[in-house]
Each structure stands twice: as structure tokens, then as C-alpha cells.
């Protein structure tokens, strides 16, 4: 697959261009610099070519993140076959633009100078200054208005080799890492991929957008999504939008790693567990920083965790340490196992045999001498497994009895660790008309 990097100083429109080229709003865009910090990947298709596009943070930003952002950009350059150097000629060339240009020349990659924010032909008068950078004729583009993109991509394609790759048809497993700020999500991702893909710092809020990392493990393709830390009350508008991006990443995922700090469990974990549960996706609770818990506190910490996350007690737990890479392989093994179960389908005949057994094991709800009657059960959806049970009175189903059936489905049908959904359908001679309140 081809690889193209997008670079430039802060606030020239790199993320706007990235979103426009991949055809969806993946990167956070704002009117102030410093929003993008990590190197974010996205897949774009152009003239039947698959291109991995990489959006990098603003270079030579002059702030505390400058060195870390440049390090991630240098990683992005390693396999890049072309570089789009985004500039804002309407502001004129700055010292940072010249610094980035010198840095690019040392890397020796093909560079396309792209003049962004050229919204109309009259703005092309600003292009002349860009020739001084030494990268040939600049391309006039407006990422916001989709102007000049074909000219840009024609120049990019001229630097790419012939596309002869054999693209795998196996869909990747997409996993999101969610959690409070500073629980170690980015550190876990780096430890897993054996790279420094995500910026790691002691202060919370380092990751400000969801970061997709394509990765292969044991022949299985993954897309690992490092999301922004989710707070109870975001401090800024950009943080609030980053949370929305995290929630969107969860919706697109196949599985969720709920990362918690073993030594700092709070009520906020309950909210995150609810978010994970309501998504209908398999959840693995990743208890990070386990190596920092004293031996005498291990049992207490496990009990505290079980109490706070009791409503997703079905979710498996993996105990990890990003520092010494303890538990990393268990995270992946558990994810592959749950993904297979999440897509499984149970034959109707098997379901109904078990339905009889479950009713014998546990008495059905009884209201004033009138019993819940279950006639038939079938699976209506996968991902998550969803089952319809046809009965005489859906309003007779108690929460505890539904929980009992969900537990039995997980344990007896080899769906341990999977969220199970039940739909109750009334049928037969006692089926009520909509809005009626008749008795059996």
C-alpha cells in the first residue's frame, strides 16, 4: 500500500486536507494551533489506488510539544513515498515554514508544495513567494472548498510506484481503547505495536483526537484506536469535541478495551462502563499499572473493581503493565476470541432445547397465579448476538429473570464475555392488542 504524509507548521489546514482526501471527518479541526499532536492514519482510495494518508502535528510549534510532534512526524516519514507540504501563502512564509522546508530537504523525500486556502483564482497571486522554498511549482488548493484536489493528487501519483500489491480480503478487527485521561492508553498501544506511535506524557489530555493504527499480529489484521481521555466535564470546547470523536470511534469499533488505572478507581469508571455496555460491543476490562499495586492490596483492588463494574461483570479482565509489557498478549488473545463469539450464530433447534432446560432450572415469573409462558426462541441478529423470545405476556418478564436468561445464554452457549440482547415478542391466543391491558 502507498503511503503519503501531510506536514506543515501549525494551523495551515493539514487536518482539513486530511479529512477532505479520505472523505470523512476523522481529524479534529479547529481555528487555533496545536490540535493535532500524534501522527494520524487514514485510508483513501484514488483511481483504484489504496493510499495510507498520515496527518501529522504542526511542526516547529514553539511549545512544549514541539520535540514530541517532530519525532512522530519523522516516524511518519520513514515509509512515506511522497510528502504534501501544506502552506498558507495568504499569511506569507514564516520562519517555521523555512525550518520545515530545511528539515524536509534533509529527509530526501519527494515533496509537493501545496498552497492551501486559495479559495478563488484571484488568490493565486500569493503563490509566487512559495517558489523560494525550492520544491518546484506550488499547487493551489482550497481544502475547505475542495478546489484543486485533482491537481494535487496528480502530482502525488507521479511520485508513487506502480501498484501491484495483493490486498488481503480479511477485514481487520477494530478495537478502541477508552478510559479516563492518563490511565495509560497510549502507552499500551506503543507497547503493543513496539513503536512510539502515540505521544505519551505524564499530564492528562495529551491525546486530543482518536488515533488509528493499522497493525498485524499473528496473521490477523487490527485497527487499534487510541481515543482521547473521557472526563466527566470537559474543560474546553476542543476537549468536548475530542470526546465526541471518541464516542464515534467506539460506534465504529468491533471491540472495546476499557482501560482503568489499577491504583485509582473512581466513580467515573461506572460511566465509562455504561458507555461501553450500551454500545453492544464486547468489552475487555484492561486493568493497567497492575505492577504498582502492593501484594497486600491485590485482593482489595480486585474486589473494588468488581463492585464498581458489577453491571459488566460478564466482561473478562486482563491485568497489564505498559511499562514491562505484562499482559499485552493476553489482551490480543482475548480480543480475537471474543470477536469470533460476537459474530456467532446459534441454530434455532439448539436454542429451543436449552429454553426448555432453563425453564426447568429456574421457575418463570408468576403474577397472581398467571405465569409467563415462553413458546419459542430464535436468534435474529449477530454482533451482538440478539435473540427473540415469543411469549404470552412481555410485561411479565422481570429484570432478574431476563438477567438469568442472559447469564444462561453466555454460559451454556459458549458466549462468555459477550453482551447478549433479548427481544420479547407476544404471540398466541393471549397476544394483546396494542394498548390493551387484558389478563390471561
Does 148 carry a binding-site annotation? no
Report d(CA 43, CA 75) in Å as an integer: 18
Does 34 carry a binding-site annotation? no
Terminal C-alpha separation, the chain: 64
Does 392 carry a binding-site annotation? no
Does 228 carry a binding-site annotation? yes
Does 59 carry a binding-site annotation? yes
Report d(CA 12, CA 21) in Å as an integer: 16
Does 349 carry a binding-site annotation? no
Does 65 carry a binding-site annotation? no
Does 288 carry a binding-site annotation? yes
Report d(CA 198, CA 206) in Å as an integer: 9
Does 407 carry a binding-site annotation? no
Spatial contact of 148 and 123, defined as CB atoms under 8 Å apart? no
| Cell numbers for 72 | 512522530
Does 13 carry a binding-site annotation? yes
Does 136 carry a binding-site annotation? no
Does 119 carry a binding-site annotation? yes
Does 181 carry a binding-site annotation? yes
Report d(CA 20, CA 143) in Å as an integer: 6
Does 183 carry a binding-site annotation? yes
Does 63 carry a binding-site annotation? no
Does 118 carry a binding-site annotation? yes
Does 37 carry a binding-site annotation? no
Does 263 carry a binding-site annotation? no
Spatial contact of 286 and 320, defined as CB atoms under 8 Å apart? yes
Does 324 carry a binding-site annotation? no
Does 15 carry a binding-site annotation? yes
Spatial contact of 100 and 23, defined as CB atoms under 8 Å apart? no
Does 25 carry a binding-site annotation? no
Does 10 carry a binding-site annotation? yes
Does 327 carry a binding-site annotation? no
Report d(CA 196, CA 73) in Å as an integer: 11
Does 267 carry a binding-site annotation? no
Residues forming the annotated binding site for GTP?
8-15, 55-59, 116-119, 179-186, 226-230, 288-291
Residues forming the annotated binding site?
8-15, 55-59, 116-119, 179-186, 226-230, 288-291
Amino acid at each position: 500500500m502507498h503511503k503519503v504524509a501531510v506536514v506543515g507548521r501549525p494551523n495551515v489546514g493539514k487536518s482539513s486536507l486530511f479529512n477532505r482526501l479520505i472523505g470523512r471527518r476523522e481529524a479534529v479541526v479547529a481555528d487555533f494551533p496545536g490540535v493535532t499532536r500524534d501522527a494520524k492514519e487514514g485510508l483513501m482510495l484514488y483511481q483504484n489506488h489504496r493510499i495510507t494518508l498520515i496527518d501529522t502535528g504542526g511542526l516547529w510549534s514553539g511549545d512544549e510539544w514541539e520535540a514530541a510532534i517532530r519525532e512522530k512526524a519523522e516516524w511518519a516519514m520513514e515509509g512515506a513515498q511522497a510528502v504534501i507540504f501544506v502552506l498558507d501563502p495568504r499569511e506569507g512564509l514564516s520562519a517555521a515554514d523555512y525550518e520545515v522546508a530545511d528539515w524536509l530537504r534533509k529527509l530526501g523525500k519527494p515533496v509537493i508544495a501545496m498552497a492551501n486556502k486559495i479559495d478563488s483564482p484571484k488568490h493565486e497571486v500569493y503563490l509566487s513567494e512559495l517558489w523560494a522554498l525550492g520544491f518546484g511549482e506550488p499547487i493551489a488548493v482550497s481544502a475547505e472548498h475542495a478546489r484543486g484536489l485533482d491537481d494535487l493528487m496528480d502530482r502525488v501519483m507521479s511520485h508513487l510506484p506502480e501498484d501491484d500489491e495483493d490486498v488481503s480480503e480479511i477485514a481487520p478487527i477494530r478495537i478502541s481503547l477508552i478510559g479516563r485521561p492518563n490511565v495509560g492508553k497510549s502507552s499500551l498501544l506503543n507497547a503493543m505495536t513496539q513503536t512510539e506511535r502515540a505521544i505519551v506524557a505524564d499530564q492528562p489530555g495529551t491525546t486530543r483526537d482518536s488515533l488509528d493504527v493499522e497493525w498485524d499480529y499473528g496473521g490477523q489484521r487490527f485497527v487499534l484506536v487510541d481515543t482521547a481521555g473521557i472526563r466527566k466535564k470537559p474543560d474546553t470546547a476542543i476537549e468536548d469535541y475530542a470526546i465526541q470523536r471518541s464516542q464515534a470511534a467506539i460506534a465504529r469499533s468491533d471491540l472495546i478495551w476499557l482501560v482503568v488505572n489499577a491504583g485509582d478507581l473512581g466513580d467515573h469508571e461506572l460511566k465509562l462502563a455504561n458507555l461501553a455496555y450500551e454500545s453492544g460491543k464486547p468489552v475487555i476490562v484492561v486493568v493497567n499499572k497492575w505492577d504498582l499495586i502492593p501484594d497486600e492490596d491485590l485482593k482489595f483492588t480486585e474486589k473494588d473493581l468488581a463492585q464498581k463494574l458489577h453491571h459488566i461483570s460478564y466482561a473478562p479482565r486482563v491485568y497489564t503493565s505498559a511499562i514491562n509489557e505484562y499482559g499485552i498478549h493476553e489482551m490480543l488473545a482475548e480480543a480475537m476470541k471474543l470477536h469470533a463469539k460476537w459474530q456467532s450464530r446459534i441454530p434455532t433447534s439448539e436454542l429451543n432445547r436449552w429454553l426448555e432446560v432453563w425453564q426447568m432450572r429456574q421457575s418463570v415469573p408468576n403474577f397472581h397465579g398467571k405465569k409467563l409462558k415462553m413458546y419459542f426462541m430464535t436468534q435474529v441478529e449477530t454482533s451482538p448476538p440478539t435473540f427473540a423470545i415469543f411469549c404470552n405476556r412481555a410485561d411479565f418478564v422481570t429484570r432478574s429473570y431476563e438477567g438469568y436468561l442472559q447469564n444462561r445464554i453466555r454460559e451454556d452457549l459458549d458466549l462468555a464475555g459477550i453482551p447478549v440482547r433479548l427481544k420479547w415478542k407476544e404471540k398466541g391466543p393471549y397476544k394483546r392488542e396494542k394498548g390493551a391491558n387484558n389478563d390471561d
